[in-house]
Structure formats: C-alpha cells, structure tokens
C-alpha cells in the first residue's frame, strides 16, 4: 500500500527526507541532549550520512522490520523540527510501532503530538493495522505523557531490562488498538 505524502497538518508538513536535510539530521542525531534516551549515542557525521541514506529509501511497510521515517517541517518557517517513524513490527499480526525525536528548540509546542496523530492515522486507517505500540526509556516522562495524550495505555514496565550507555534502564511500553483509535 502506498502512503500519501506529504502530509499537511495545521502547523506542520510531514514529508520524506531529502538529501538537503543532512545538516538538520546531523543537528538532531549528534546532540547528546537529543540522544539521551535513545538507543544510540550521538552520531558522527559519517554515521548521520548512513542514517540519511536509510531515510531516503522508499519503504512500502509490508515486511517485518521496515520503517518509514518522515521529516517534520514547521510550515510557517520551513524549519526541520524533528522526525517521526512508523515501524512495521509484524505483518502477520498487523502490528506496528511509533517513534518520535524532536530537537529541544521545538519541545513544548505540541509538534510531536500533532505529527504522531498522523502516524497513528496512517497505521490504522491506511495500513489497516490492528495494534500500535510506543516504547521508551522510563525516565523520559515527557514522551510517556505524550503517548497517554495520544490515547495509548501503559501496558508494561520492564525493570532494568536494557543495558544502555553504561547503565541498566527501565523500559515502558504503551499501546492502542484499532478499535480504540476509532472510538476515541
């Protein structure tokens, strides 16, 4: 199935990455503040080039492990604010996952919520998924609050289950079902 892009919201454009987004992606992925709760350390310029190449690929989201990452652009200014990702976890089970990463300059403006709603819409309404989850470091209270605002419920709190950046960390898992999305 083809996802209709770009997506326009009240304040944002969600679109595929372009080669010209390299500097913005570098600012995002090389920042210790941004990557603090992510699975990777701040990236080098070469690692960001590899990351961008993956984001440029056309992904149909019909095979386990595929991911579609969209650049989130502030419509009024044209500035790159961050990115949102939709992951295909299991085609057979029709399950996916959402993720979001925003530059600290754009925190607190509701951009993550505005763009994440679109990912849930795509997952449920365009791709016909049954269930979508969100996983995060338990110390990331802002992201946990956002997932709750999106209508997702916390289903798990895994204690010290991942060794990240030299320490054991807790992980939270949130989820929403297609029928819950429709009834919201």
Q: Is residue 130 included in any domain, yes or no?
A: yes
Q: What is the CATH number of the domain that holds 159?
A: 3.40.630.30
Rg (CA), the chain: 16
pLDDT tens figures, 79-89: 999 999 999 99
Q: Does the structure show a pLDDT above 70 at 1?
A: no
Q: φ and ψ at 11, to 5 degrees?
A: -120, -10
Domain limits for position 176 = 7-183
Q: Is residue 22 included in any domain, yes or no?
A: yes
Q: Is residue 90 included in any domain, yes or no?
A: yes
Average the pLDDT over 110-126 and give the result: 97
Burial (CB count within 10 angstroms: exposed 0-12, middle 13-18, buried 19+), residue 28: buried
- Would you mind telling me the total number of residues written for the chain in this entry? 184
Q: How far is 152 from 133, CA to CA, in rounded Å?
A: 8
Q: Is residue 2 included in any domain, yes or no?
A: no
Which residue is it, tokens 């990236």?
43
Q: Is residue 146 included in any domain, yes or no?
A: yes
Question: Is residue 111 within 8 Å of 149, Cβ to Cβ?
Answer: no
Average the pLDDT over 46-62 and give the result: 93
Q: Does the structure show a pLDDT above 90 at 60?
A: no
Share of the chain above pLDDT 90, in %: 92
Q: Does the structure show a pLDDT above 80 at 2?
A: no
Strands 80-90, 95-102: pairing is antiparallel
Q: Is residue 31 included in any domain, yes or no?
A: yes
Structural domains of the chain, count: 1
Q: How far is CA 116 from CA 32, 74, 161, in A?
A: 23, 14, 26
Q: Is residue 1 included in any domain, yes or no?
A: no
Average the pLDDT over 60-75 and give the result: 95
Average the pLDDT over 90-94 and give the result: 97
Which residue is it, tokens 């304040």?
11
Q: Does the structure show a pLDDT above 70 at 23?
A: yes
pLDDT confidence of residue 3: 87
- Which of 8, 26, 19 is CA-nearest to residue 121? 8
Q: Is residue 121 included in any domain, yes or no?
A: yes
């Amino acid at each position: 199935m083809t996802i209709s892009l770009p997506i326009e919201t009240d304040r944002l454009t969600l679109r595929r990455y372009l080669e010209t987004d390299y500097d913005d992606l570098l600012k995002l992925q090389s920042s210790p503040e941004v990557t603090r709760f992510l699975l990777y350390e701040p990236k080098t310029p070469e690692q960001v080039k590899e990351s961008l190449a993956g984001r440029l690929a056309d992904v149909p989201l019909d095979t386990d492990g595929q991911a579609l990452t969209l650049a989130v652009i502030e419509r009024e200014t044209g500035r790159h604010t961050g990115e949102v990702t939709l992951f295909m976890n299991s085609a057979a089970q029709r399950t996916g996952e959402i993720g979001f990463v925003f530059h600290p300059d754009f925190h607190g403006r509701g951009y993550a919520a505005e763009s994440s709603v679109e990912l849930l819409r795509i997952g449920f309404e365009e791709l016909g998924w049954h269930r979508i989850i969100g996983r995060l470091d338990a110390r990331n209270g802002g992201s946990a609050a956002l997932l709750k605002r999106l209508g997702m419920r916390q289903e798990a709190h895994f204690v010290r289950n991942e060794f990240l950046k030299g320490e054991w960390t807790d992980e939270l898992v949130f989820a929403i079902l297609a029928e819950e999305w429709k009834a919201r």
